[in-house]
Structure 1
Amino acid sequence: MRNTNVCFIHGRIGKDPEVRFLPSGTPQAKFSLCSNDDYFDRKANSWVEVAEWHDCVVVGDYAEKVAEKYQKGDLVNITCRVKPRTYVGRDQQRCKVVEMYVQSIELIAKKGELVRQQSNGQAGSRGPGQHQGSTEQFRDEGQGYAGGYGDDDRGPAF
């Protein structure tokens, strides 16, 4: 049986998507995405929220579309493939980074828009400030989602 590598992340874009071109001429967009994680601190008897930052990569013609449509502060859901890679740093040390290769992206709210609560009136399971729900939603899927990207473009090889 083949293993699966799929990740879903809900968060805000922290950096405008920046398009660069690989040596092969393939466009590649990169942006950061911030999601929140939380845990219960027993000593303080309260929930603590922690920001988690993700490096996102979009490869192919889809990269230019994402860079045009999305910007810093937009609330999105992404479906991605987790892809670690290593490189040799300036001090000749091997460094490892984990990148999220975006397969689809769904706009939940543009920067500055309020996110509506769910129709059942529930704002979230842990109290105020953690609203769930959506405004108008758009879903984009990159062409590479079905066919995959070649390793020559340093993208996911499905």
Structure 2
Amino acid sequence: MSGINKVILVGHLGKDPEVRHLDGNVSVASFPLATSESYNKDGKRIEQTEWHNIVMWRGLADVAAKYLQKGKLVYIEGKLRTRSFEDKEGHKKYSTEIVAENFTLLGRKTDFESNSSSATTNNTTAEAEPETPKNLGTGEFVKDDDERDLPF
């Protein structure tokens, strides 16, 4: 029987995505994402922030590099992945990351006017015309002509 490895996060980018190109021109983008929750303890409001390492591959990484930037609110779906590596001294280290499978920019329409619109991406492949954004790279780009704000 197989298990389920699914992560859903809504948070703010801690910095702009860092994009690298590996052999075969494979793109990989990485950035920290902050999620916060608040609660009351002894009559005081406590806010706790958790930092997550996000990794995006190939076309999704290219779309992220184009549309994501520090401070933006984003919804991310992906899976948890732990990898090991050796540091400079030869000690084995472990890193746990979220390998994103899709993302959606969140916020009011005015938040995206400099980027044309809000973006929703997934692992489908298609081309897009810049004037009528629909699909970019490996992601889907959705233009919302409504003046309404998103419900969250």
TM-score past 0.5 threshold: yes
Amino acid at match of 2:123: G
Give aligned-pair identity as a percent: 26
In the TM superposition, 1:81-100 aligns within 5 A as 81-100=79-98
- Cα deviation, 1:50-82, whole Å, max 9, x if unaligned, reads 111111110012211111011111101100111
CA distance in 2: counterparts of 1:90 and 1:78, whole angstroms: 32
Task: Structure 2: give runs of 5+ residues left out of the alignment.
Answer: 112-116, 125-137, 140-152
Runs of 4+ off more than 3 Å? 37-40
Structure 2 contact 67–119 (Cα < 8 Å) conserved: no
TM-score normalized with structure 1 length: 0.67
Amino acid at match of 2:98: M
Task: Structure 1: give runs of 5+ residues left out of the alignment.
Answer: 114-135, 146-158
TM-score normalized with structure 2 length: 0.69
- Cα deviation, 1:62-120, whole Å, max 9, x if unaligned, reads 2111110111111011001110111111232221111111111111127x95xxxxxxx
In the TM superposition, 1:130-149 aligns within 5 A as 138-143=119-124
Q: RMSD of the alignment, in Å?
A: 2.3
Aligned residue pairs: how many?
A: 120
Amino acid at match of 1:104: N
The corresponding residue for 1:53 is 51
Amino acid at match of 2:74: V
Q: Secondary structure at the match of 2:25?
A: coil
